[in-house]
Amino acid sequence: MSVPPGKIKEVSSTANPLVKAIKGLVLKKNRDSEGTFLAEGQKLVTDAIERDWAVRTLVHAKNALHDDRHRDQVQALAATVHARGGNILIVGDKVLTSITRRDNAQAVLAVVEQKTMPVGKIDPKSGDCWLALDRVRDPGNLGTAIRTADALGAKGVMLVGETTDPFGLEAVRATMGSLFHVPLVRATVPEFLKLANQWPGQIVGTHLRGAMDHRTIDYSSKPQIILMGNEQQGLTEELSGACHKLARISMDGAADSLNLAVATGIMLFEARRHALSET
């Protein structure tokens, strides 16, 4: 059965109930209860649609239809969303600015359904590399780590324990669209430990007191998990204990550690070096 196309509505007031509901998605409790989140800008909305994420509502500026830079693309996005059963909201600049709380609001944004992959669906294969993040707190770090995992060809990102919301505005912005390209898995610590126990390959934890220089580890062939620690506390003892190796990234200055997202980039680059050199 085909999905009936959604509604098309023009709204000019920031007090409109539909607009208020969309604005409410800046709060985690509303995102959780609705199961949706906001993706801002043509690039992110296009990525969401192309990757078949369900777009409940596409919001676009009325002005975009009179602007040569945006018109064709916005109309194409709106047509696809509408044909798939999503709603279209055409709004004034004031309404757009009020939703994103930015002066220079993007011409288009979307309310997208959240999607994560269950831990049980992970099917490790030789050559795969997964990134796991222990209790990541900072949304910018999380978004940047997801973007980095995507860029360096990781199979997906596991969020272990209580983390910042990957569907929050700041995290989504920092992914630059990569959120729609790499599977995201949420795991409790016991779920991760169970996975680690059955993992057919290697788990490399990263630790300031790791016993191995990260460049000396062999990451080829077997499926890998690169496990990164929390920004304040590093990896817990329990998670460190589940790792086959603990890697240290050499440092030479006064800083006592690297930023989490930077350390993630260095580790993933090293772990994927053999695969990247073939591309």
Ligand X SMILES: C[S@@+](CC[C@H](N)C(=O)[O-])C[C@H]1O[C@@H](n2cnc3c(N)ncnc32)[C@H](O)[C@@H]1O
Shortest separation between residue 163's beta carbon and ligand X, angstroms: 13
Q: Could you tell me how far CA 171 lies from the centroid of its own chain?
A: 7
Count of residues that interact with ligand X, criterion CB under 6 A: 17
The residue type found at 243 is: C
Closer CB to ligand X, residue 99 or residue 227?
227
Q: Decide if residue 263 touches ligand X (CB under 6 A).
A: yes
Shortest separation between residue 271's beta carbon and ligand X, angstroms: 13
| Coil/strand/helix, residue 111 | strand
Within a 10 A sphere around the Cβ of 254, how many other Cβ atoms?
5
Exactly one of 184, 260, 268, 271 binds ligand X (CB under 6 A); which one? 260
Closer CB to ligand X, residue 58 or residue 249?
249
Q: Tokens standing for 24?
A: 């409410």
Within a 10 A sphere around the Cβ of 18, how many other Cβ atoms?
17
The residue type found at 161 is: G
Exactly one of 251, 273, 274, 276 binds ligand X (CB under 6 A); which one? 251
Q: Could you tell me how far CA 61 lies from the centroid of its own chain?
A: 25
Q: Would you give the binding string for ligand X spanning residues 177-206, x where CB under 6 A is met? A: -----------------------------x
Closer CB to ligand X, residue 47 or residue 270?
270
Shortest separation between residue 224's beta carbon and ligand X, angstroms: 15
Q: Would you give the binding string for ligand X spanning residues 206-235, x where CB under 6 A is met? A: xxx-x-----------------xx-xx-xx
Q: Decide if residue 248 touches ligand X (CB under 6 A).
A: yes
DSSP character string of 191-214: HHHHHHHH-SSEEEEE-TT-SEEG
Task: Please identify which residue in the block is written with the tokens 């990234």.
Answer: 249
Compute the residue count for the chain.
Answer: 279
Q: Tokens standing for 273?
A: 């070096």
- Contacting positions for ligand X (CB under 6 A): 206-208, 210, 228-229, 231-232, 234-235, 248-249, 251, 257-258, 260, 263
